[in-house]
Amino acid sequence: MSVTLYGKVFYKGRIVETGIEIENGVIKKIGKSVGGRKVRGLILPASIDVHVHFRDFDERDKETIETGSLAALHGGVCLVVDQPNTKPLVDSFNAYKRRMEIAKRSSFVDYSLNLALTNENFEKIDEIVDRVEKRYFLPAIGEVFIQHNDKNLQIDYEVLKNLKTKKPIAIHAEDPELVRDGFPNFKYRLPKAEIVAVKKCLSIGNYHFCHISTFKALKMISESNSTCEIAPHHFLLSTKDYERLNGLINVNPPLRDYEESKTLLKNLCLAEVIASDHAPHTVDDKIKGSPGFPGVETLYPMLVYLISKSILDISLIEKITKNPAKIFGFKGYGEIEVGNYANLAIFNLKRIEEISCEKLHSKANWTPFEGFKAIFPEKVYIRGVEVLNDGEILIEKGFGRILTKI
């Protein structure tokens, strides 16, 4: 099957007017000589969200791979990395296989999965990795928790120091000695907990740090050989949103004060990746203090809006496309380039709308970004197939590929 598109394209870090020739799902040629249908809007690479929690298993009431991936599709995402701290955990080959089989039947977008590190499996983690990698593509080990209320998931620094593995390790960095329980949690999980944990981890080795929320930690990581991601709630929200969020404030790591969030916004260039940390809970659970925000559907649309208003630079697109593919080894993903999959999201920059949970597709049925302005994609292509057209889904669940051994 051959498709050709022509229009304004984000190519090699800038916007150019050019054509894209697609054959059998792969970009065959890019150039002005390529004919094709004139596309209204901006042609961007579909995004990669390297940090989502699609729940499922025993928490199907909060989210499923089906509903989470549907939300991702509407947000211009072509590939997700699901986190393994599910109930039950993805901490063994059998658990990994079971989850991948669910994804194969139900995901609308391409799907990959990390492996959990626990105090019960760390001594045999390489054995589990080897089994998994005989069949599947494993992006990383983690999210590894330095602090967690479940002591099986709270990994001591000594375990990290003695861990021998060839896989990237993704760290949730908050020092357990500096974390206390309480509501709202931003009063009890202080910035120092993240800064200290990052400093200790950097003294041990190189890691990928999840959802960094403080400028001091971000700067330390940027001056090292490690990488990190930032979630939109940490640079677009702050503790000033306490009243507006009406009790649904908790997220780990917590929201920081207004000045901290603005400093992160101004220094996004120091992070390699932007990821949603999509963590849906029911509203009842949120009222009881459960930490986490849904965000896989709103991340890219909010970024595109901020870029359209010159608040953010267009180069930041690479933090949800090119950089994740490079860091985690997703071959064929991340850029509009010859030889890559034709994963595209087309945005009409004039089509600005306010985010409303009524229009979103996560089971969470709420969003911390209610009323924020965004530009949602009008069309999405995954592997050359038009999968979304003006809100209409053109594929069935299970279209998304699970990433197998490459």
The answer to whether residue 90 scores a pLDDT higher than 70 is yes
Count the alpha carbons within 13 Å of 35 in the hemisphere toward its beta carbon: 1
pLDDT exceeds 70 at position 1: no
Confidence class of residue 98 from pLDDT cuts 50, 70 and 90?
very high
Q: What is the pTM of this model?
A: 0.97
Alpha-carbon span 140 to 96, nearest angstrom: 13
Domains with residue ranges and CATH for the chain: 2-44+339-358+367-392 (2.30.40.10), 47-328 (3.20.20.140)
Beta bridge partners of 121: none
Cα atoms in the 13 Å half-sphere on the side-chain side of 212: 33
Decide if pLDDT at 4 tops 80.
yes
What is residue 46's predicted lDDT score, i.e. its pLDDT?
Answer: 98
pLDDT at 166: 87
β-pairing, 344-347 vs 37-45, is: antiparallel
Backbone φ and ψ of 16, nearest 5°: -130, 155
Averaged confidence pLDDT in the chain? 97
Predicted local distance difference test score (pLDDT) of residue 2: 84
Instruction: Taking residues 123-143, report their average pLDDT.
Output: 97
Active site residue 150: no
How confident is the model over 261-288, as a mean pLDDT? 97
The per-residue pLDDT for 406 is: 62
pLDDT above 90 covers a percentage of the chain that reads 96
| Confidence (pLDDT) at 113 | 98
Could you tell me if 230 and 264 are in contact, meaning their C-beta atoms sit under 8 angstroms apart? yes
Average pLDDT of the segment spanning 91-114: 98
CB-based burial label for 34 (10 Å; 0-12, 13-18, 19+): middle
Cβ contacts of 285-289, under 8 Å, gap ≥ 24: 285/62, 286/247, 286/248, 286/250, 286/366, 287/247, 287/248, 289/183, 289/185, 289/250
Average pLDDT over residues 282-291: 95
177-218 pLDDT per residue, tens? 999 999 999 999 999 999 999 999 999 999 999 999 999 999
Q: Choose the weakest-confidence range: 32-41, 93-102, 124-133.
A: 32-41
Tell me the percentage of the chain whose pLDDT exceeds 70: 100
Q: CA–CA separation, 196 vs 198, rounded Å?
A: 5
Instruction: State residue 75's pLDDT score.
Output: 98
Pick the catalytic residue from 56, 277, 285, 313: 277
Span 284-307, average pLDDT: 97
Quote the tokens at residue 217: 């930690």
Cα–Cα separations (whole angstroms), residue 144 to 22, 123, 149, 168, 379:
39, 15, 13, 11, 35
Q: How far apart are CA 95 and CA 93, in angstroms?
A: 6
As given in the structure block, the two tokens for residue 405 are 């051994």
Lowest mean pLDDT among 30-34, 205-209, 383-387: 30-34
- Residue 126 and residue 165 in contact, taking contact as beta carbons nearer than 8 Å: yes
pLDDT confidence of 315, banded at 50, 70, 90?
Answer: very high
